[in-house]
Homo-oligomer: A and B are copies of this chain.
Amino acid sequence: MTEGWKATDNRKISESTIHRLSHYYRTLSVLEREDYETISSRELARREKLTPAQVRKDLSFFGSFGTRGLGYPVKDLRAKIANILGIDRAWNVALIGVGNIGSAMVSYKEFVKQGFAIKLLFDNDQRKIGSNHKGIIVHDMRDLEKELKAKKIDIVMIAVPATVAQNIVDDVVRCGIRAILNFAPVKLKVADNVFYRSENMAMELEYLSFALVNLANRSGGKKLDKDSTNS
């Protein structure tokens, strides 16, 4: 039980658990900077607005990292979670579609700090191809395969109009990419061995709209929180 998590393990880890690990990671980073040595599941839960049992259960899927009577060692646990999430290394990211959203992403310095470095840009607009964004040249879509492979890209972000998103995804998957972050408000069809996630702002706004119409002025109305305990 002490040797922890193996990638080959067959246990099924829920999406919610992984998302909570991301949060734990951020909180632990703060605690580490504030020179905390250990933290209890109770205190961690308080900061995350979860139950202590939830915290312990989440961590227990991957090993036993705490000390009874004491809590978890902040530094080690942070490192362990980084390892579980695979963010203890650098990932090479490419971005396709250097428009409004795409430009914002390129200018965002936090990604690099978190180990996700945008190494390649693509567009099909002749006016944009060859131009320089924060030191990165925008490539022609025709060079997609060659460049993705040359730069050993792991993750592709897609910020093109919704109408062409599926085509681009198909191209990217054909080039061997297994992980995609999509910003177009469409549901993508991909093979079973390709992972993708979508950021869909319209959907979140619709959720807020639903909440305002249906859940507002309830007695002790409930918090809706994508960040919180419920997935």
Which residues of chain A have a CB within 8 Å of any CB of chain B? 7, 13, 15, 18-19, 21-23, 25-26, 48-49, 84-87, 91, 93, 100-101, 103-105, 107-108, 110-111, 114-116, 154-155, 178-181, 185, 187-188, 190, 192-217, 220-228, 230-231
Contact = CB atoms under 8 A, between A and B. Distances in A.
Contacts of A181: 201, 204-205, 208
A120 to B, nearest CB: 16
B111 A210 contact: no
A31 B8 CA distance: 43
Given A22-B200, A85-B213, A86-B210, 17 more contacts: A15-B207, A15-B224, A18-B206, A22-B207, A48-B187, A91-B209, A93-B205, A110-B202, A155-B208, A178-B216, A179-B208, A181-B201, A181-B205, A187-B227, A193-B220, A198-B226, A200-B227
A222 B104 contact: no
B225 A197 contact: yes
A8 B179 CA distance: 42
B86 A214 contact: yes
Nearest to A12: B222
Given A100-B107, A205-B155, A197 B210 contact: no
Nearest to A86: B213
A85 B91 CA distance: 38
Q: Of residues A85, A100, A210, which shows the largest number of chain B Cβ atoms within 10 Å of its Cβ?
A: A210
A168 to B, nearest CB: 16
Nearest to A47: B187
A206 B22 contact: yes
A26 B198 CA distance: 15
When A and B form their complex, which 9 residue pairs have the shortest distance between CB atoms, in order from nearest? Answer: A86-B213, A100-B104, A86-B209, A195-B211, A179-B208, A197-B204, A193-B221, A104-B104, A22-B203
Given A111-B202, A203-B19, A209 B85 contact: yes
A179 B15 contact: no
Contacts of A116: 202, 205, 209
A14 to B, nearest CB: 8
